[in-house]
Chains A and B, each alone.
Chain A
């Protein structure tokens, strides 16, 4: 290619980029904050304990699965990412597949919640919500579906209260917090590396100073995990997204969810970061919740363990470590492709249908 050709090509590309920027700007100018709505699947509030709420998603179609499912997401993000928009809603898909879906909403913890630890989250709120659902349906046990940190809380709950859990589903859930060391990957397990670089004293001091761990800390971690994505988000990605109204709204809905980062209660964060990320107590059988040790081999109900080989937040080995540690004779692993959040906001219904099918058989 001659120098003239190269110059011509560069000018053409630059002009094309300018046109794309203008188009994206125009599309963005027509959108107001009120237009960006998430979590629109109809739901009702069933129960409220302090700042925690139990919601039930309204099912209009026939029930295919009679055991209700309590979905618990992480405390570090808001659950509504699971119901991002009508055609990208993990929860809506489950409801449409005939499941009775309840959701734990951890709300936005304030300093008044700073002493809530795993005991409160698991034996307090989760147990109360499970009791409420059991009572509504006249059942002794229900299905738990926990995602990421919510998966760990569900796992602990199932180990401590196996009589109240008929099936356990975990998705992108860390079990062995040091498994990333067995297969170090530059694009995965950054949170593990970062937390291990701190001392237990650093974490105590942070909680003492802040009360709760601010959501911004989690946001910073995610930015460091994918530095370029953060750097390029508002110049390249937004321009790309702004080429059509549909992709722009997807982008803006995700931005809305990302900007709403709840704080993590201080006492639970200390356990999460020190006892799990640093000391890896769960797989060592040393994690104590409410004065009782969490024995994974107490989990004897059917288990479906979902993980992604391309998860950059939770290393797949950390999730797969559940195999052989639970006593369940009916243990299934379901590998899916996609990112840590991407698998729940995908247009495809494959994941929700797989879960509904599995539940239909149990």
Chain B
């Protein structure tokens, strides 16, 4: 580790002024010399304190830096970190946006010759956590649904018994069970609860897939393989060319029809 230039200068000056001298007579010349010695002492003290002053300056700079960092990033990041303790965040769909905000809060300008830092790997994990959370919610909704089916089935059996038409055979009971299951599931599948849940699940799965694709594209770039985005662009251009080709074919057909008109016109069989 090398010393910084100002620090090396301080230490060099101190080495020159440091040698011990015998006390001179108090003559004008001596007084002058004493004055010079006082100055030398002052210089010595100044040189002695200089590293301390420099250190204090450095700490002060760091304190100011810390203040700036705290002002610019700290408040936002501490707010974000505090949100991690909020149970609502851990409900499906909350973590991925938080990580996105964190990436924005901690982001730095891009440097030409330094690797860029991103949180894409963490984001795909967050998307996966979202999916898992939603699957759990799905289970939480589905299990009571089967209890509801059982209650409906028992209620139906009781109604039949009261009406003097109890189940006579297991086959009859199975038919009734199937009807109850069918109706209850159909009602649930059309309900607002189900619609909201499956909408969130679909979205979470889609976002997870997109995050995975980003990771896959990085691997493809490393291996010099075409990425999905590049292939999509190729398909887009190919599609535009196909359209042009079809239009040209259409024009040729129209020209051919013009040259040799159809035998019969529109009018049916």
Contact = CB atoms under 8 A, between A and B. Distances in A.
Given A13-B171, A362-B269, A209 B206 contact: yes
A225 B189 CA distance: 8
Interface stretch (B6-14, B85-93, B230-238): B230-238
Interface in A113-133: 114-116, 120, 124, 127-128, 131
B210 A208 contact: yes
A302 B249 CA distance: 30
Interface string B158-186: 00000000001111000000100111011
Interface residues of A, number: 61
Interface in A212-239: 224-229, 231-232, 236
B207 interface: yes
A337 interface: no
B269 A190 contact: no
Contact of A194 (B195, B249, B250, B268): B195
A258 interface: no
Given A112-B235, A206-B206, A362 B268 contact: yes
B167 to A, nearest CB: 9
Interface in A175-189: 186-187
Nearest to B167: A6
Contacts of B238: 112
A127 B247 CA distance: 11
Number of contact residues on B: which range applies?
A: 35 or more
A9 B269 contact: no
Given A50-B242, A67-B268, A227-B181, A198 B202 contact: yes
A114 B266 CA distance: 35
A176 B238 CA distance: 34
B236 A115 contact: yes
Interface stretch (A29-37, A137-145, A241-249, A320-328): A137-145
B15 interface: no
Contact of A209 (B183, B195, B213, B266): B213
B169 A13 contact: yes
A272 B238 CA distance: 23
Given A9-B169, A124-B246, A163 B232 contact: no
B1 interface: no
B265 interface: yes
B199 interface: yes
Interface of A: 1, 6, 9-10, 13-14, 49-50, 65-67, 111-112, 114-116, 120, 124, 127-128, 131, 134-135, 138-141, 163-167, 186-187, 190, 193-194, 197-199, 202, 205-206, 208-211, 224-229, 231-232, 236, 301-302, 359-360, 362
Given A166-B268, A205-B207, A227-B186, 11 more contacts: A9-B169, A114-B232, A128-B250, A131-B250, A166-B267, A197-B198, A202-B206, A205-B206, A225-B189, A229-B182, A302-B268
19 contacts: A13-B171, A66-B269, A67-B269, A135-B253, A138-B263, A140-B264, A141-B266, A141-B267, A164-B266, A186-B183, A194-B195, A202-B199, A202-B206, A209-B209, A211-B232, A228-B178, A228-B181, A236-B178, A359-B269
Interface of B: 168-171, 178, 181-183, 185-187, 189-190, 192, 195-196, 198-199, 202-203, 206-207, 209-210, 213, 231-232, 235-236, 238-239, 242-243, 246, 249-250, 253, 257, 262-269
